Amino acid sequence: MADIESTCASLRAQILATEAQLDGLKRDLANAEKASKSRASPAADEHKEQNDNHEGRRWPLLPEEYRRYGRQMIVSQVGLEGDCLVSGKEAKTTRQLKLRSAKVLLVGAGGLGCPAAQYLAGAGVGTIGLIDGDTVESSNLHRQVLHRTKNVGKYKVDSAIESLQELNPHPTYIPHRTHLTPDEAPTIFENYDYILDCTDNPATRYLISDTAVLLGKTLVSASALRTEGQLMVLNNPPQPAGDPEGGPCYRCVFPKPPPADSVVSCADGGIMGPVVGTMGVLQALEAIKVITAPYPIKAAAGIPAPARESPSLLIFSAYSNPQFRSIRLRSRRSNCAVCSANATVTLNTIMSGSTDYVFFCGSASLPSLLGPEERISPEEYRQKHPGSAAGRGSTMIDVREKAQFGICNLVNSINIPISNILASSSKKSQGQESDQPPELPSWIPPEVANSESDDPIYVVCRLGNDSQIAVKRLKELGLDRDGRRYIGDIRGGFRAWREQVDPDWPQY
């Protein structure tokens, strides 16, 4: 038996070493591909020069561009002449040319950024910037449709641009291989006309909105989680701070960020690919509408400005009927910290770090709620209870939601979703004596509620956070019988379980 265990441990070590070597090879491949592209840049520059230099030609677009964009140019909202500014003077131009001259930055090359970038490139937007410091993972591929299996380990911006160039070679694609930071955001944003927020955390959303407002950029913001999504066009039109005619910003809609412990990421809450894809496509659509909108000529010129759409929040729910509904948003707040006359957030406070977005939104990392004696590692648990998948002489409670429990679970474990635990109340029932324990909620199974059992209770979740909350709740209900019955959690959850006990445990 010892020889078999030694062999298994050796094989696991070899697998880990091979995986590390594979990651290194992928990074080397990505660097080689980047070097190859840099050598090919002169040809790309020549193509762009031919594309942009249309002086002396009868028609402003290349023949291939007329063929490529013809189906959208015959749509009246795109193909008709539109008003714009040229060298500070009003002029007439086709809106397709407005698309070609536009510079759009997408912050995030994930589930939202991929479909948005695809349709902006397909529509002929002239310059598309992508900023993202992450690399492609296999867990991204079900929804981040620009990336391919062969590009796992590669920077997302490089993977996305590779696909976009195959789709349309005419635009200029600019990669920013970094996570957006306050000190760099203004410098990057100032080179673009429009911004798309394709991120998934509150701190970055406030940073993007603040920077866009202060630089006079219209922002298209979207989000998606599980089966629902939201979409807003902010700072439209982009008027200076204090001008009530300007569109509201992200702080106007959400003056206070959500509690840090309530923010759920796609990794924790899940996401359906078509849901985030729908929101990304709608982002591209709204960006195209903003870019091709008629320039609001002043009434003094003899033509009144066109009616401006009221700002609204579009809510999408895949399993609702109807799937879409719209909520009208209020105009700019008179006390907004960014776009009001008394704004306190400036480019200087952003770049200097005086505006602390992490502090404003709170820390996303949860503190340990339990003491060391209340926690046990998967390896320690297996040593104490080696008899079966969920141990003998103990009770294992899995507090993941039913969908996750259905993917993989330990034999003999009991599923009590954390949502059920949080939804119950620990208040004593009416008429109950104060020295009596609280009435047990219905979600507690008999083997857990058994007041005669001394079997320890272990709680496990995916990452080791929800399990701590559940342990505290079980103790509040008196199930530990004043410490005579052990109740603790599996430290690190099933992620640690996979690393320490079962390397075949599904990683999702």
Give the residue ranges of the annotated binding site for Zn(2+).
249, 252, 336, 339
Sequence ranges of the binding site? 111, 132, 139-143, 156, 200-201, 249, 252, 336, 339
The CA–CA distances, whole Å, from 249 to 3, 105, 312, 360, 465 equal 65, 17, 12, 17, 33
- C-alpha–C-alpha distance, residues 385 and 191, integer Å: 61
Q: Could you say which DSSP state residue 11 is in?
A: H
All residues at 6 or more sequence positions from 454 whose CB lies less than 8 Å from its CB, including other chains? 484, 485
- C-alpha–C-alpha distance, residues 490 and 508, integer Å: 18
Closest among 342, 357, 362, 337 to 185, alpha carbons compared: 357
Sequence length of the chain is 508
> In the structure encoding, which two tokens stand for residue 169, read together?
């070679």
Sequence ranges of the binding site for ATP? 111, 132, 139-143, 156, 200-201
Torsion of CA 339, 343, 344, 350, to 10 degrees: 30
H runs (alpha helix) in 75-155: 76-79, 95-101, 113-123
Identify the bridge partners of residue 312 per DSSP, sorted by sequence position: 328
> In the structure encoding, which two tokens stand for residue 412, read together?
């003999």
Determine which helix (DSSP H) or strand (DSSP E) holds 494, and give its type and residue range. helix 493-500
At CB < 8 A and 24+ separation, what contacts does 501-506 make?
501/378, 501/379, 501/382, 503/12, 503/15, 505/408, 506/407, 506/408
Q: What are phi and psi of 94, to 5 degrees?
A: -75, 145
Identify the bridge partners of residue 128 per DSSP, sorted by sequence position: 104, 173
Q: Could you say which DSSP state residue 237 is in?
A: S
- C-alpha–C-alpha distance, residues 201 and 365, integer Å: 13
> For residues 96 and 185, is the Cβ–Cβ distance under 8 A?
no
Closest among 324, 311, 309, 315 to 252, alpha carbons compared: 311
The CA–CA distances, whole Å, from 414 to 73, 444, 465 equal 60, 10, 18
Classified as helix, coil or strand, 321 is coil
- C-alpha–C-alpha distance, residues 184 and 170, integer Å: 28
- C-alpha–C-alpha distance, residues 459 and 474, integer Å: 10
- C-alpha–C-alpha distance, residues 19 and 323, integer Å: 43
Q: Which residues are catalytic?
A: 266, 461
Classified as helix, coil or strand, 229 is strand
> For residues 279 and 316, is the Cβ–Cβ distance under 8 A?
yes
